[in-house]
Structure 1
Amino acid sequence: MKRTPIVFSTCLLLAGLLFTGFETAAQLRLPAILSSGMVLQQNESVTFWGWAGPSEKVYVTTSWNNRTDSAVVSNMATWKLKVMTPGAGGPFTITIKSRNTITLSDVMVGEVWVCSGQSNMEWSYYNGTSDIAPDFPSANNKNIRLFHVPKTAAVYPQDDVKASWTACDSNTIKSFSSVGYFFGKKLQQELNVPIGIINASWGGTPAETWTPEETIKQDPLLSSAAIQLNSFPWWPSAPGQAYNGMIAPLANFSIAGAIWYQGEGNTTNNSSYHQLFTRMIDSWRQAWGKLLPFYYVQIAPFKYGRTNEGALLQEQQTLTMTHPKTGMVVVSDLIDSVTNIHPSRKKPVAERLANWALADTYGQTGINYKSPVLISATREKDKMILRFSNAPGGLQINGNEAAGLYVSGDQEEWFPAKARVKNDVMTVWSPLVKQPRHVRYGFGNTVVGNISSSEGLPIVPFRTDNWKVAQDPIN
């Protein structure tokens, strides 16, 4: 008879615990990227979303217009609504209310960019970038906000990340992407609006892991190429895993565009990179529901393990310039050594990316931001005549004579070539080739050219032939 009260009390206790757990689970919650100190994309219908008790109502009030928008929580305990942002400004306050209330303070409105890729995008002061320390005394800038996504791989798309927004200062930039910081700094200076930079990068990762798995599976070429990737203990290589953990959780958050520095992780399966990269770009654009501007860095010369594998990857990146709303930065003139896969100077790389954004996305004029590109090659007697676009002030040879330039006749034998330039025309020849047929410039893992536009932008490496290129192991 004495057991009954105990059983009854235990049941009450369990019921109370269950109810308390339900109450906790039903609390209004937001993803980490929607937090105090964030930057929202200006003049856009941005998404607010999160979790709360099913069938409850969530109210979002913004201080820039004191308007309240609302949404009903679904039976999956999720909610989502759109809010129109004003032009650049702040700080603002946003109140989200349901069973409990969350107040977001110090919210800025401006331009938001994602920076992603592998180690050259990830590289920070702590990794040895050489040109960021001089910025420490003047780095404090509350109009630049940083959001660092931790390295996270997942088999399925995730809905949140463990990170927080921080204001730019001499401490926060030390562990942040140097390319991302310098990119944001130049945009902030030129546009004079708050800038949000979201860094989602992971050294060593191939582009397959940043592409949704279904996109890879549906393409036989990409599926076959993905199998060729080596597995390493330091980063994921399976399709979609970095995308699921680091990009999918961001896709509801409105951004202006993306910058990308990657490719070294795909030199072993380089022949499919153009197709892979364009599919990846399109999958991101589909996730964000807009034609995101996408500006990227061509990989630098480096002593890879097989001949020409880096050059062929560069060639694939060049092909991607034909994809809508993309732009490529060439950095062959910014390397320290062809034995260092991580060139230490990140500021000029970032500023070239920023110039693409300023001119192409924001419509600023008077910016020379495109590297010269070969548009035609014809033979005149014993010389090749090459013409280039994107050289408004003409071409220049930076040194006593051209470097990285080769010419061949019909026999596929390549000889160092000489060149002279006038305006946007380059004349190429070799005394060893009486009837030249093809020209290569900057083509090879460690071949570094020295020809640029008069504005200082290196010409895009090229070859005029389509001959099969050897990729033999280097002893």
Structure 2
Amino acid sequence: MNSIMLAGQIDTVSVLKFADPLTDNMVVQQNKAFTVWGNAGRESEVVIKADWTSPVTVKADKKGGFKGIIPVPEAKKGDFTKHRLSIISGGQTKVLNNILIGEVWICSGQSNMQFAMKEVVHAAEELKKTDHPNIRLFNTGLNFSNTPILNVSGHWQECSPETVEGFSAVGYYFGKKLYDRLKVPVGLLFTGIGASACQAYLPREVLAGDRLLDSVYLAPYLRSGKSKEKIDGGFSFEKVTRPYLLYNAMINPFKNLSIRGVIWYQGESNRKDRLPYTRAMYKMITSWREKFGQGNFPFYYVQVAPFFYDQEDPALADYAFFREQQEKISKLDHTAMVVTMDVGEAKNLHPKDKKPVGERLAGTALHKTYNDLDEPYLGPHFQHVVFEGKKAVVSFIPETILSGLTTNDGKAPKFFQLAGKDQVFYPAAAKIEGNKIIVTSKRVKSPVAVRYAFTNYPVTNLENSNGLPAVPFRSDRWDEKGNNMKD
């Protein structure tokens, strides 16, 4: 309880507490300075004691907030020692127990990241295999705020069939593969919500500071009556698309937490955007890195899966143009995109097979973050095309095809298209010849452009020898508005 204060006195008996993200059972990021923060008596001394290092003493500010930094050793393979972390101030002591030192990743985005383990294909059998006490989970409660806040709901738990059933399936499969390969504890923190839009995860000042993002996302919201409403924590499909509210309530509270990186699966709610989405993602990633103050940490994301959006027209390509914008995000340092074209379900916005998605994200992290260069993470990526009379000869970047091209069903590659100078695309036949694809169409006598999986809902079969799917592409740079396709 707070003390009764006389005039001029300083409150030194306020309740001592750790910040909300710091709880029993957490994983502390290895080999990185760890910030311990929370609340104590105003201007009181706080001693931070971890059983792996010497105590550190800090002073709380005039509002009682304190922050201290302690070193954390490198985790050793197979070391799952349980640690204790304490804070002492004003005669009070608070202790965190059952702490592990390992790898910490944030998992964020919308419904396909939120999609729970209890919903995956063969969920009952999969859940039986999830008893992993050295993997720890934090499931963030939904909240919204007009201003950046530090409080958040949720707590760290050991991974078990009971605790993981409502946790992100993509996040779990990602963490499980890291755990199996690295042999160190893994902490997974989910903070996101279904149907949410990218702009909801950006700080307000970042949106305001960019002319394009301000005009597309921020200014229209601030002019609307919605911006004048009292904000509470209740869900609505509209509210999760409003600018900056989710950043304030569900990202900002974690900005002091030491992490290794972020995995992200989002985009469906922004599918009608093009350049604004790419710009928003650039700004989101760079602003998170700046706010967290931990350098250019890795950010690995998932390209949206095929979906028909209730329009059964195999020639439509608006979603393909959005995926193209998503691919451009990977030009930013320490980012990479995972492709899901082969594991999507054309008529299901939430494909149930999340294991390949999580494991591909983990493969990307193993290769790029943990320097396991033998771990493949790239599928066939278009390099160039040569037109020879009636046929197109497609080449891929050599390091993305590894020991060869193949298909996952033994059939010819699907979803290639050709166009002539009239810019009308027709379905085309494709065959693998060595490390190239030969594409022809009886309806296009002199092709000048080729596309692959560049429609809304093609569930593909082309991959490399490691089972990683080819990235959708187009050789043309024709305007989307003039896009012409025929069956």
Normalising by structure 2, report the TM-score: 0.88
Q: Distance in 2 between matches of 1:471 and 1:202?
A: 35
Counterparts in 2 of 1:134-145, with a 5 A limit? 134-145=125-136
Name the counterpart of 1:431: 442
Q: Distance in 2 between matches of 1:201 and 1:170?
A: 21
Name the counterpart of 1:469: 480
CA positional deviation for 1:131? 4.1
Counterparts in 2 of 1:46-445, with a 5 A limit? 46-65=34-53, 67-88=54-75, 89=79, 90-99=81-90, 100-126=92-118, 128-226=119-217, 233-234=236-237, 235-289=239-293, 290-304=295-309, 307-335=316-344, 337-389=345-397, 390-397=400-407, 398-445=409-456
Name the counterpart of 2:232: none
- SS of equivalent residue, structure 1 residue 269: coil
Q: Radius of gyration: which is bigger?
A: 1
Q: Distance in 1 between matches of 2:138 and 2:3?
A: 39
Q: Distance in 2 between matches of 1:24 and 1:123?
A: 45
Q: Distance in 2 between matches of 1:87 and 1:233?
A: 43
**Cα distance per residue 1:270-296 (max 9 Å; x no partner):** 342211111111111111221111111
Query: Identity over aligned residues, as a percent?
Result: 35
8 Å CA contact retained: 2:10, 2:42: no
Q: 1:365 to 1:163 in 2, by over 3 A?
A: same
Q: 1:16 to 1:58 in 2, by over 3 A?
A: closer
CA positional deviation for 1:268? 2.1
- SS of equivalent residue, structure 1 residue 110: strand
CA positional deviation for 1:24? 8.8
**Cα distance per residue 1:404-450 (max 9 Å; x no partner):** 11000100111111122233322222122121110111111123332
Q: Distance in 1 between matches of 2:374 and 2:116?
A: 31
Q: Distance in 2 between matches of 1:120 and 1:156?
A: 27
Bigger mean CA offset, 302-311 vs 381-390: 302-311
- SS of equivalent residue, structure 1 residue 356: helix
**Cα distance per residue 1:379-414 (max 9 Å; x no partner):** 222222221120011212444323111000100111
- 1:452 equivalent to 2:463? Answer yes
Q: CA RMSD in A?
A: 2.3
8 Å CA contact retained: 1:131, 1:344: no
CA positional deviation for 1:471? 9.5
Q: 1:16 to 1:226 in 2, by over 3 A?
A: closer
Q: Distance in 2 between matches of 1:285 and 1:373?
A: 28
Q: Distance in 1 between matches of 2:434 and 2:148?
A: 51
**Structure 1 unaligned residues grouped into runs of 5+:** 1-14
Q: Distance in 2 between matches of 1:24 and 1:79?
A: 13
8 Å CA contact retained: 2:116, 2:169: yes
- What amino acid is the match of 2:114? E
Q: 1:256 to 1:423 in 2, by over 3 A?
A: farther
Q: Distance in 1 between matches of 2:391 and 2:308?
A: 31
Bigger mean CA offset, 157-166 vs 364-373: 364-373
- SS of equivalent residue, structure 1 residue 107: strand
Q: Distance in 1 between matches of 2:4 and 2:59?
A: 27
Name the counterpart of 1:6: none
Name the counterpart of 1:10: none
- SS of equivalent residue, structure 1 residue 402: coil
Q: 1:429 to 1:16 in 2, by over 3 A?
A: closer
Normalising by structure 1, report the TM-score: 0.91
Q: Distance in 2 between matches of 1:24 and 1:109?
A: 32
**Cα distance per residue 1:314-336 (max 9 Å; x no partner):** 1011111221111111111112x
8 Å CA contact retained: 1:225, 1:269: no
Which among 14, 18, 33 is matched to residue 45 of structure 1? Answer: 33
**Structure 2 unaligned residues grouped into runs of 5+:** 227-234
8 Å CA contact retained: 1:304, 1:310: no
8 Å CA contact retained: 2:343, 2:459: no
Q: Distance in 2 between matches of 1:45 and 1:425?
A: 48
- SS of equivalent residue, structure 1 residue 236: helix
Q: 1:263 to 1:148 in 2, by over 3 A?
A: same
8 Å CA contact retained: 1:409, 1:435: yes
- What amino acid is the match of 1:304? Y
- What amino acid is the match of 2:309? Y
- SS of equivalent residue, structure 1 residue 176: coil
CA positional deviation for 1:180? 0.9
- What amino acid is the match of 1:284? W
8 Å CA contact retained: 2:108, 2:190: yes
Aligned residues: 454
